Amino acid sequence: MKALEFTDALRLRQDYPQPTPRPREALVKVRLAGICNTDLEILHGYMGFQGVLGHEFVGVVEAGSDPAWVGRRVVGEINCACGECPTCRAGRPSHCPERTTIGIGGRDGALAEYVLVPLANLHAVPPSVPDRQAVFAEPLAAALEILEQLHIRPTERVLVLGDGKLGLLAAQVLGLVGCDLLALGRHPEKLSILARRGIPVQSVDAPLPEPADVVVDCTGNAAGFATARRLVRPRGRLVLKSTFHGDNTVSLTSLVVDEVTLVGSRCGPFPPALRLLERGMVDVESMIECEYPIEEGVTAFARAAQPGALKVLVRP
């Protein structure tokens, strides 16, 4: 099959072995996949991953140990748990110590014609949700994880720092709560996506606002943490959504002195993400920059890596 493989460099493989589903797995024929900032960070050494990239996808189940899934259009959660360890039995499969992660760790990804997905990770896509929107299910679920972890009151002031793909989704999700929300970023054309939905926006280069109750760091870089820290009030909450290759040298003393709650936030729930897409409650279409066939996948990655780029899609 055709696949975008990363080893010492990113390349298109025309002859990559097509996978065969094992027990409790499905073979998914990929219809559309998205390039995520995490994919770009892998090219710089993040997680030390080598193999087929990609974890944002929508496809159709072609084969598997449960025939009820065959022929269904699906998206899939990326953490593949063992299902047997104490962590899994406690209901925390995304933190299974034996897990593999689609396109990120120990398991090939979805920037290919086919991808293997555990049956437990599959979610059927509502018929009214087109592929171009369904491919956002994974990052939208990650944005919803913020609300799984924090009770954000309508009376609280909330800042979202960063106007990348995840920042735009996080701001839209938090906007549904009715909180006093402000999104900060560097790109007027990106911030306009939020402004059109009535979400207040501001350039991060303007004088920074007063510290807020909750600050969500979606910058994807080490410098963003320092800015986010300055923007959270004493006894406030700081949510970290950024993952990137490299270290972040910070002083933790101010977090102790100000009693700031630091929350790491990663993957989230797919069913509400699909409901939001089905009901048109978030705008993902405006976040699509372009689409490439998989034969031009290397070019697609170059486009996605350009400063200010929005979502780049790849169609196998």
Domain locations along the chain:
3-136+284-315, 142-264
pLDDT of 250 higher than 80: no
Distance CA 137, CA 277 (A): 8
Q: Which of the four pLDDT bands, split at 50, 70 and 90, describes residue 20? A: very high
What is the distance in angstroms between the CA of the first residue and the CA of the last residue of the chain? 10
Residues of the chain with pLDDT > 70: what percent?
Answer: 99
Range with lowest mean pLDDT among 122-126, 192-196, 219-223, 239-243: 219-223
Q: For 258-267, what is the mean pLDDT?
A: 93
Of 307 and 216, which is predicted with more confidence?
Answer: 216
- Residue 249, pLDDT score: 76
**3-136+284-315 adopts what CATH topology?**
Quinone Oxidoreductase; Chain A, domain 1 (3.90.180)
Q: Considering the domain 142-264, what is its CATH architecture?
A: 3-Layer(aba) Sandwich (3.40)
Distance CA 32, CA 284 (A): 15
pLDDT of 53 higher than 70: yes
Distance CA 7, CA 9 (A): 5
Q: Which of the four pLDDT bands, split at 50, 70 and 90, describes residue 245? A: low
H or E stretch at 33: strand 25-35
pLDDT tens digits, one per residue of 147-184: 999 999 999 999 999 999 999 999 999 999 999 999 99
Q: In what order do the strands lie in the sheet with 261-264?
A: 201-203, 180-185, 157-161, 212-217, 232-240, 261-264
Q: Which of the four pLDDT bands, split at 50, 70 and 90, describes residue 246? A: low
Q: For 273-301, what is the mean pLDDT?
A: 97
Determine if the pTM surpasses 0.85. Answer: yes
pLDDT tens digits, one per residue of 178-230: 999 999 999 999 999 999 999 999 999 999 999 999 999 999 777 888 899 99
Structure letter (DSSP) for residue 228: H
Distance CA 54, CA 113 (A): 11
Distance CA 236, CA 255 (A): 10
Distance CA 106, CA 108 (A): 7
Average pLDDT along the chain: 95
- Residue 172, pLDDT score: 98
